[in-house]
A and B are shown apart, each in its own frame.
Chain A
Amino acid sequence: MDADSDVALDILITNVVCVFRTRCHLNLRKIALEGANVIYKRDVGKVLMKLRKPRITATIWSSGKVICTGATSEEEAKLGARRLARSLQKLGFQVIFTDFKVVNVLAVCNMPFEIRLPEFTKNNRPHASYEPELHPAVCYRIKSLKATLQIFSTGSITVTGPNVKAVASAVEQIYPFVFESRKQIL
């Protein structure tokens, strides 16, 4: 297999985290009372609300900031966030859907070969950090994309980045390095 040839790798997005603001104060007790599928955490001052259709869990603060996690694509995250804002509107709050931003994307990718981690770390010294006593994977950080990759010896790679494009570019960038250190039977 040549490193230059086009290899179609399946990048599976497992989690998208986004935030938005409602620009109004929210009464958490009212949400907890009148909303279904909600958990009120009084000690930390937040409400967890779970939506079914895009499977999303939202954390709502009384200041009006909401964080949504669990979506599998950016569009789904936006739909889920809007649905949540609509529910809050129905509960009686003057909600305005603003400042929507995707904050974090977590994706998983499988390489079709195994990787020799000590060799990989040696070749990629400043960016890669491997401590077998702490974690079985190599942690590789790409500063320009603000992405972090966890590379396992089985060839499975977990990528976290600020958006889907950064994640895809991170996988593209790492592929030649990982290909170099792949396992070959002697």
Chain B
Amino acid sequence: MADQRKCPDCGSLEIVDDAHYAQNQLVCADCGFILTEGLLTTTFADEEHLREVSYSRSTGQNEQQSRCKQRGIRRVQDLCKVLQLPSTFEDGAVSYFQQAIQHPSFRLVSLEKKEMLVGCCVFVTCRQHNWPLTMGTVCSLLYADKDLFASTYLHLLKELQLDVPALSLTDLVKTHLNSFKLFQDSSSVPAKYAENKEQMVARTIQIMELASETWLVTGRHPIPLVTAAAYLTWQSLHPAGRLTCPFSRFCKLAGIDLPPPAHLRLTELHDILLRMASQLAWLRVFSLDRRSVAKHIGDLLQHRRFLLQSAFSPGYASKGNSLESSTPAAGDTAETMGVVHIESSPTGEKQECKSRQRPLLPPCLMNPRKIRRIAPSSSAPVITGDEPILDSEIEQYLRSQEEVEEIRKAQALY
């Protein structure tokens, strides 16, 4: 205060400006008389100029939570920031973490497992909001072991009884393609290899839908399949000059890793496309192989419904049997499996070929591994479990005295 004040009570001039907790007061230093008080609460007008501090940034939180919890919450927030997730995801993930850390099976474990828990909470939150995040991404960000991550994830689902919807393939395709460095705005790629992003995404999604209809997606890891589909799309959009570029070089250009199963997926996709191409009238005259079918993917995708039906329905005889990829033996195996065919309108071709069409089956059924079946021998006597045990049967499990002596000697030498 500029001008001196006098205490009304004792008359002293010693007035001190003091704060009692949050309240500013003018107090007489001699007798303690309060001259004026500030307001305890602020008005709306005052608060407009104040910046709100969130609880997590204030120090109030530090006093109430253990260090382990605080550290975990910070890690969750950092991970969300790195992945550029919306703030609602961050809150959700933090609340999951707080719930999970209460359980002794998550609190009394090694630091490595607590890191996994952080990743799992973020992963679960993303999946629940249908945000396409794969486990591979989270593991690579945390430098984590995939098996440990998987077991922590399943344990978390069980403890918190969470329900996680399935990974949406379309979103996964979009996110994965975003990481490719092939598009026109990137500078590292020669002009003939750069591609339009929207076209590529749209066609890759179509190929993925085709793959899911033809049993290539079920039970498989999605990323290698997306990579293979992206390669085919890229080749088909501008075939000139790209058909000779192999898969590994494509991945190097795009700046992504080539996962090992991707080659197998590519082979399977080629097989499906070749079979479809055999049904398309204007492609039958060409003898297509794996490389050249990429040129015609656009047409194949346009008519895929019809082509799938006609290529894989039973009773339709194909004219060119050079494209038959399976032997009649596989067809017989399929028959004995008893695949149910509900309907299938024959397309009116004559049934001249004796060999059957390959029905639409998962690839593992088309190349069945020889399972050594132990045939239940009906001639063997029925075992009840309570039969008497003869001494002679037991003798074979015991060493004779001479053998025991021999072994003792050998052990003594050793």
Residue numbers of A with Cβ under 8 A of B are 1, 33-37, 49, 51-54, 73-79, 82-83, 86-87, 90-91, 112-114, 116-118, 121-122, 125-126, 129-134, 136-137, 152-155, 182-186
Contact residue among A37, A114, A132 (Cβ-Cβ distance under 8 Å from B397): A37
Nearest Cβ on chain B to A185's Cβ, whole angstroms: 6
Nearest Cβ on chain B to A77's Cβ, whole angstroms: 8
Is B389 close to A, CB under 8 A?
yes
State the 3 A-B residue pairs at the shortest beta-carbon distance, nearest first. Answer: A136-B219, A78-B385, A75-B385
Contacts of B134 in A (CB 8 A): 133
Contact A114 B383, CB 8 Å, known A82-B389, A152-B219: no
Q: How far is the CA of A137 from the CA of B167 in the complex (A)?
A: 15
Contact residue among A54, A114, A184 (Cβ-Cβ distance under 8 Å from B365): A114
Nearest Cβ on chain A to B308's Cβ, whole angstroms: 8
For chain B residues 147-188, which have a beta carbon within 8 Å of chain A? 150, 153-154, 157, 163, 166-167
Contact residue among B220, B364, B384 (Cβ-Cβ distance under 8 Å from A154): B364
Is B98 close to A, CB under 8 A?
no
Q: How far is the CA of A113 from the CA of B360 in the complex (A)?
A: 12
Contact A86 B340, CB 8 Å, known A33-B407, A36-B398, A153-B215: no
Contacts of A153 in B (CB 8 A): 215, 218-219, 362
In the bound complex, do residue A185 and residue B312 qualify as a contact, i.e. CB atoms below 8 Å apart?
A: yes
Contacts of A87 in B (CB 8 A): 394, 397-398
Label chain A's interface by main secondary structure. loop
Q: How far is the CA of A86 from the CA of B344 in the complex (A)?
A: 63
**Complex A-B: 11 CB contacts under 8 Å:** A76-B385, A79-B384, A83-B393, A118-B218, A122-B166, A132-B222, A133-B136, A137-B219, A153-B219, A155-B337, A185-B313
In the bound complex, do residue A121 and residue B166 qualify as a contact, i.e. CB atoms below 8 Å apart?
A: yes
Nearest Cβ on chain B to A31's Cβ, whole angstroms: 10
Across the interface, name the chain B residue whose C-beta is closest to A115.
Answer: B218
Chain B interface size, under 10 / 10 to 19 / 20 to 34 / 35 or more: 35 or more
Is B338 close to A, CB under 8 A?
yes
In the bound complex, do residue B385 and residue A133 qualify as a contact, i.e. CB atoms below 8 Å apart?
A: no
Q: How far is the CA of A76 from the CA of B383 in the complex (A)?
A: 6
Is B63 close to A, CB under 8 A?
no
- Known pairs A76-B385, A132-B220, A155-B337 / 19 extra A-B pairs, C-beta < 8 Å: A34-B399, A36-B398, A37-B397, A75-B384, A79-B383, A82-B386, A86-B394, A112-B338, A113-B340, A114-B215, A114-B339, A114-B365, A118-B166, A121-B166, A122-B166, A132-B222, A133-B167, A153-B362, A185-B341
For chain B residues 114-165, which have a beta carbon within 8 Å of chain A? 134-136, 150, 153-154, 157, 163
Q: How far is the CA of A70 from the CA of B312 in the complex (A)?
A: 42
Label chain B's interface by main secondary structure. loop
Is B353 close to A, CB under 8 A?
no
In the bound complex, do residue A185 and residue B398 qualify as a contact, i.e. CB atoms below 8 Å apart?
A: no
Contact A33 B408, CB 8 Å, known A79-B383, A134-B135, A186-B309: yes
Contact A36 B150, CB 8 Å, known A114-B361, A134-B135: no
In the bound complex, do residue A35 and residue B397 qualify as a contact, i.e. CB atoms below 8 Å apart?
A: yes
Q: How far is the CA of A86 from the CA of B395 in the complex (A)?
A: 10
Contacts of A126 in B (CB 8 A): 163
In the bound complex, do residue B219 and residue A1 qualify as a contact, i.e. CB atoms below 8 Å apart?
A: no
Across the interface, name the chain A residue whose C-beta is closest to B163.
Answer: A125
In the bound complex, do residue B398 and residue A35 qualify as a contact, i.e. CB atoms below 8 Å apart?
A: yes
Q: How far is the CA of A83 from the CA of B399 in the complex (A)?
A: 16
Across the interface, name the chain B residue whose C-beta is closest to A100.
Answer: B385
Across the interface, name the chain B residue whose C-beta is closest to A121.
Answer: B166
Contacts of B219 in A (CB 8 A): 117, 132, 136-137, 152-153
In the bound complex, do residue B163 and residue A114 qualify as a contact, i.e. CB atoms below 8 Å apart?
A: no
Q: How far is the CA of A51 from the CA of B394 in the complex (A)?
A: 10
Nearest Cβ on chain A to B253's Cβ, whole angstroms: 26
